[in-house]
Structure 1
């Protein structure tokens, strides 16, 4: 797995590189120190995951993510930050970032990178507990207006809990392929891009 790390603190970049490369089959192929460098490195190196800070000089991580995802909707961006600002979390979710974790939880960095690589969305517990309160309850709609079956609502619930396709399959006694296909159908039905947006939809409309 190829990783690009971007943080405006060079010591943090070096430390992250050391932590990440202590694991098997994972390599930091580039280091950057602001959002502009993140865009350039992503374009040049096409990493499996871009691990990036949010607050940086020259260009923020959120601004860089907007540009990168605008050009490649499949880009896998994992934010690693010291900040739990509601505004940042909302922007990261809306942009389609695959994760948002806190720097202090360094032991979760590599597992989060591996999860994002295989298509999961990763949000630290500090983030998950904040999400329901960040969603505008005034926009709530009856789930019946979305033409969702009971099984589809079950699947959306489990996606919002962060379960993988395999875990959802085991929970609902379905095949992994069936779960994958049903999630694709749900995304198409709700005109959503990915599992992150599906989780936001759950908290906004079904919780």
Structure 2
């Protein structure tokens, strides 16, 4: 099934580059482009994309407000935030608004395309360096609420504990599967079980738990 993508960025060259990149993947179809948050909201309503590539820094309605507005109307849409190395201030608000993951804008083309596919499949793609910054800041400022204060709960299986540790390292599901010699579907099942056991609602909370438990 073709993944329908909406590209949102206030810079024309960035939008053009992302469109050209998506066009190299037969599994992706760019259904629209938006230069503002307001246009993103309007086009998301009109076009019903599967994935929105959302810039966070835009004049007027920024990507955080646009994400929250889009998901309030169409919660099935997956919003994948595009960030820069110096954009830490937007990470937590975007997560709270419902972004399913964060990728850095200068990620490799393969990583960007893989991230779009992961987002569409229900995964939570994070560039490893971004996830590490989010987790480190959360531990320092306690900004991301987690169900436990210092350590993962008891009752995890050995395999679940291994998966949790690798989530804390920022590994994607496919990378965890390769590291542990498991199928990707099995890894997804372990992560779902971890979220159920810990009360975590996203991958960042799981990663924080994994770091605290070391």
What TM-score range do you get, normalising by the shorter chain? 0.7 to 0.9
Query: What does 1:10-159 correspond to in 2, within 5 Å?
Result: 10-82=12-84, 84-105=86-107, 107=109, 108-137=111-140, 141-143=149-151, 145=153, 147-159=155-167
**Residue 136 and residue 97 in structure 1: after superposition, are their counterparts in 2 closer, same or farther (change >3 A)?**
same
Q: Distance in 1 between matches of 2:90 and 2:141?
A: 21
Say whether 1:185 aligns with 2:193: yes
**Residue 180 and residue 127 in structure 1: after superposition, are their counterparts in 2 closer, same or farther (change >3 A)?**
closer
Root-mean-square deviation over aligned CA pairs: 2.9
TM-score, L = length of structure 2: 0.78
Task: Name which of structure 1's ranges 45-54 and 178-187 shifts more when overlaid on structure 2.
Answer: 178-187
The alpha carbon displacement at 1:88 in A equals 1.2
**Residue 75 and residue 201 in structure 1: after superposition, are their counterparts in 2 closer, same or farther (change >3 A)?**
farther
**Residue 17 and residue 187 in structure 1: after superposition, are their counterparts in 2 closer, same or farther (change >3 A)?**
same
SS of the equivalent of 2:201 reads: coil
- Count residues with an aligned counterpart: 205
CA deviations 1:120-157 (Å, max 9, x no partner) are: 32223442342332113475734264543443222222
The alpha carbon displacement at 1:28 in A equals 0.5
Q: Distance in 2 between matches of 1:179 and 1:125?
A: 18
CA contact (8 A) 1:121 1:196 kept: no
Q: Distance in 2 between matches of 1:182 and 1:101?
A: 23
